[in-house]
């Protein structure tokens, strides 16, 4: 028994030590929500070409910041010689690198790592290649790191992108990734975005430009041959094919299928209709306003063609009558018949 108890407590102690160790091993994870947006962007991992481009852009910003005007005055020739040496000087490189990747936002941490990784290459470019090859992006990201391609090229071997006819983007454009296929803009289709997508028609075309426009809203799926409701192949619901004129004509649902309630009036719209509430003085109407009533609402009477509030003494009289009427049936069910004539008298 005693031995057993000893064993149990030993196991428990061991477990608790393990638990503590496990906790200490993993640093307390700060939940993503608690991190600020800025911190999240900073630690974001970008795709390789994008990351290299961020680094190069930050370097270029540094170059701009350390640029010194040639027109500050002084001896022009001496100035030029001094600036010429400064332009590619170690001093300037250090100045640029001091704030490299600072405040780039997305991928800042990655930028610092990459800057370290490529430090000697950047230095090499700065000292040896800057004049002959002024484009750092081409030199570093395309040629040295081989993570990007020049604009208009894609994939591991930097194959040329299709043109996508100016109506789409080449997948992987400018990077070592992607398949070079066109991702067409809305309304365009085909492998090279050189045809119109569904429910679009060709509004302009020459050898190197194609413009597609959306079919008229009267046209259903199936598209159209051109602009306007007359060019539809099939009409959308709410429209009907006019066999004589050839095209889609709006259906006036207010005539054909008025589903508004008695206290509403119907307004036809293109392809549909709306039910709007009558003026509060109407119980039925043909349109908006107190002059469009077909019947007056309770408490209103027709006066000079308008439903008008029934004047005070009359309405107070009628309301006291109504109160009596309401009270009557509750006294006895038999009295219902008795109250009927009273109602007619009103
Ligand atoms: C490729 O990218 C460049 C630069 O962003 C752009 O000018 C060009 O139109 C793009 N080409 C295609 C086909 O996406």
| pLDDT tens for each residue of 149-172 | 999 999 999 999 999 999 999 999
On whether the pTM is more than 0.75, the answer is: no
Q: Which residues of the chain have pLDDT under 50?
A: 1, 3, 6-8, 10-15, 17-19, 21-27, 315-346
Probe target for ligand 1 pocket from 49, 149, 161, with the most ligand atoms within 8 Å of CB: 161
8 Å CB contact between 29 and 95 = no
Q: What is the pLDDT of residue 98?
A: 95
Q: What is the pLDDT of residue 327?
A: 39
Q: Among the atoms of ligand 1, which is closest to the Cα of residue 163? A: 13
Q: What is the pLDDT of residue 81?
A: 65
Nearest to 231 by CA among 217, 210, 211: 217
Six token digits for residue 85: 């040496």
What is the distance of C-alpha 330 from the center of its chain?
61
| pLDDT tens for each residue of 262-277 | 999 999 999 999 999 9
* Backbone dihedral angles phi then psi of residue 276, each to the nearest 5 degrees: -115, 150
* Backbone dihedral angles phi then psi of residue 127, each to the nearest 5 degrees: -90, -35
Six token digits for residue 151: 């604009």
Q: For ligand 1, say whether the CB of 160 is within 6 Å of any of its atoms.
A: no
Q: What is the pLDDT of residue 208?
A: 85
Q: Among the atoms of ligand 1, which is closest to the Cα of residue 152? A: 1
Residue where the block lists tokens 């852009």: 57
Q: Could you give the CA distance from residue 275 to residue 120 in angstroms, rounded to a whole number?
A: 74
**Cβ neighbourhood burial of 245 (10 Å; 0-12, 13-18, 19+):** exposed
Q: Among the atoms of ligand 1, which is closest to the Cα of residue 164? A: 13
Q: What is the pLDDT of residue 11?
A: 46
What is the distance of C-alpha 63 from the center of its chain?
36
Probe target for ligand 1 pocket from 152, 162, 188, with the most ligand atoms within 8 Å of CB: 152
Instruction: Read off the DSSP letter of residue 35.
Output: S
Q: For ligand 1, say whether the CB of 164 is within 6 Å of any of its atoms.
A: yes
Q: Which residue's alpha carbon is nearest to atom 10 within ligand 1?
A: 152
Q: Are strands 306-309 and 293-296 parallel, antiparallel or unpaired?
A: unpaired
Q: Among the atoms of ligand 1, which is closest to the Cα of residue 170? A: 14
């Amino acid at each position: 028994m005693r031995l057993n108890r000893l064993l149990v407590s030993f196991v428990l102690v061991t477990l608790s030590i393990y638990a503590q160790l496990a906790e200490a091993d993993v640093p307390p994870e700060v939940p993503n929500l608690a991190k600020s947006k800025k911190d999240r962007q900073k630690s974001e991992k970008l795709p390789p070409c994008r990351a290299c481009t961020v680094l190069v852009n930050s370097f270029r910003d540094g170059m701009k910041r350390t640029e010194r005007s040639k027109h500050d005055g002084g001896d022009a020739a001496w100035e030029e010689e001094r600036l010429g040496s400064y332009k590619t000087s170690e001093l300037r490189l250090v100045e640029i690198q001091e704030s490299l990747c600072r405040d780039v936002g997305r991928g800042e941490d990655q930028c610092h790592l990459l800057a370290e990784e490529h430090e000697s290459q950047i230095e090499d470019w700065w000292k040896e290649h800057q004049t002959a090859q002024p484009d750092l992006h081409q030199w570093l990201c395309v040629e040295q790191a081989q993570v990007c391609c020049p604009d208009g090229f894609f994939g591991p071997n930097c194959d040329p992108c299709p043109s996508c006819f100016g109506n789409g983007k080449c997948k992987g454009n400018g990077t070592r990734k992607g398949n070079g296929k066109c991702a067409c803009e809305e309304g365009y289709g085909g492998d090279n975005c050189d045809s119109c997508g569904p429910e679009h028609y060709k509004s302009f075309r020459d050898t190197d430009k194609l413009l597609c426009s959306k079919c008229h809203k009267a046209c259903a799926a199936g598209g159209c041959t051109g602009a306007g409701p007359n060019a539809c192949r099939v009409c959308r619901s709410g429209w009907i094919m006019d066999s004589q004129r050839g095209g889609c004509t709006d259906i006036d649902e207010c005539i054909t299928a008025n589903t508004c309630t008695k206290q509403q009036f119907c307004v036809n719209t293109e392809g549909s209709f709306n039910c709007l509430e009558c003026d509060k003085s109407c119980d039925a109407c043909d349109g908006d306003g107190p002059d469009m009533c077909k019947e007056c609402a309770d408490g209103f009477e027709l006066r000079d063609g308008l439903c008008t509030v029934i004047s005070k003494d009359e309405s107070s009289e009628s309301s006291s009558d109504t109160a009596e009427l309401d009270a009557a049936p509750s006294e006895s069910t038999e009295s219902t018949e008795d109250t009927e004539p009273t109602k007619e008298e009103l």
